[in-house]
Structure 1
């Protein structure tokens, strides 16, 4: 049974808990709808061919669930036609889901913002139900929706519609999950944390968001650039932005989205459009870049998205483990350890689009030995082989934890190659893009 019914012909939601069904402008609405439904029943019209459907959980999930009306003990009731539709309403909220709701509200209140859980907002003739609604600064409203591992994949078919309806009515949708498959969707702005039990989520440690937040690296597309031109050209001479993953504390995310210092954007990378959360300063610089891509947008003063905390961490990130202490560390990471430098847990965004010559000299010493066949330094070939080997190992892993470790090893090895290629190209006054393309073609051809 459900308390909210969708009338297909009238295209309105009927709230059976209210005497006027929440439509005071339509007198005697209940008598009209109820008598019509009973008349269809006496004629033998199937429930699926009548005008009533579930307007609650089923409609939110994009499921058309036919219903019929009845009176029991003087109380109005709407009954599902199918048992599986009825069972959809009886699925209990998990302890992890409740812990996230409590944590969102606690983080918001600590930042001076209000909020509540399971909020139903009237929108015209329909409703929007939000897991946790945070009332932010300047009338800003952040609607947090939590989708965890206990949720059926089929229950996410209506995400784009629900997020779009919320955005059109002044609620910024913020969807959070612990499933990588959900976080990779592009139907709304997703964030993801590691899968944790309820008692860990609820405590006051530093819970990290490991996916969904980005920092934008702005750079000029010339021969010294570290990134390939997104337009597929050698070097177009214009300014571009590259989105780089960055961890952020969950509590800081809640407070800063309410304050407006972290905002959602749609970022175009080639032909694809991705949805990320970024700082408001990065968003403003991206807007400047979109208006004029012939020069880099001016720097803006930024407030760190997160800083040091006195709280104990809720979960220990994989990057904090030592390769020697962790028995599950892949062999590629141990082998490449002399070539790799440890990445910080939350590195600061680079101050310029390219590294300084002094830094490059420290990260990538000048190659000394040259391969007689290819003319390229043997050290570049070795570094590229190590990076390709780390990437090949990543593709063969199935375990989520091992993939995170191996992905870190691959990114570190790739960064070493990039720095070495840049330094070599500058030293020899060569086109960096051509050197990189030649190196990759050589190494991958010989390994096939």
Structure 2
């Protein structure tokens, strides 16, 4: 596979297997050559064989000697590779029909509900075109991006950032669990359906990208295991995690594409980005109920809107083999570096994860020291309003002390008292 390319603007040879690309005097060179071809001269990068006057297999095959740079994937490595233009996937007739039917369904759903909706709307700088732009009554603008074929992570990031800069919340739609757009920006995954079924209004369930916040007290009677323990233990704390509707307790109703069209535009559903545990670089994007988002931000102390995921995540770190440059044209072999199957990005597992530690014993606690975060977490975990909370007369843990079904002692303390 080609690990070298000629830069026509600078008149230099670039070795993609070297960390400095063979030009330590040009620190911005990597950024310049990896920018989208839509934002640069398409003839900036040239096949080395073509430049040297030797046969370029791509050109002799009726295609282009011009190239672009992408991250390959092979054996756990992510090398930079040079590929001939055009090499990006072109939508098939079936994919184009699916795309068109989904776009029309989104616009029609919004219009029938009294929302402003248009198809193929470009931003002011014309760098991003939303397949469908839906505007809610409060001025919320959702830019739907139906992406049923492969797109590079950098393109998702660039277009999403541009949308946000123009006060449009991007919402990417995929049909494949391995889609690279998943968790690069707010997203939703639907089933791979024939265009006719989409057009005829067949049920279109959001299979991934929408979650609910579940909060529970980690005690032996809990229906869920401890988030912090791999065994069967219970930490006594209060856990909060994000679950798909089918994995909630009790199970939530599935979210349909029509639900998301309306709730995203009205603000009843909002996008959230949750960093992975122990890593601020990579995380999960999801759409969630606005009330769940408010509770989550109160628990974790996050009041401002959460950021767009970084353009380059941990599994996209470039690897440099530091090899001699290969000057042969490798057109026709360009599928080798993508022969490794793309990893499944939509795993459906619980994500987020926040634990409020077990509160101290009564003798060292004063009611005035109970924070709003502790009250919010306990209220969600116990299923009662905050004003019904109080301290157990035995251990000092927050419990339901007022209202119906109230008691002076928690279940654990009552069990210990009855056993005496």
TM-score of the aligned structures, taking structure 1 as reference length: 0.46
The answer to which structure, 1 or 2, has the higher relative contact order (CA under 8 A, 6+ apart) is 2
TM-score of the aligned structures, taking structure 2 as reference length: 0.49
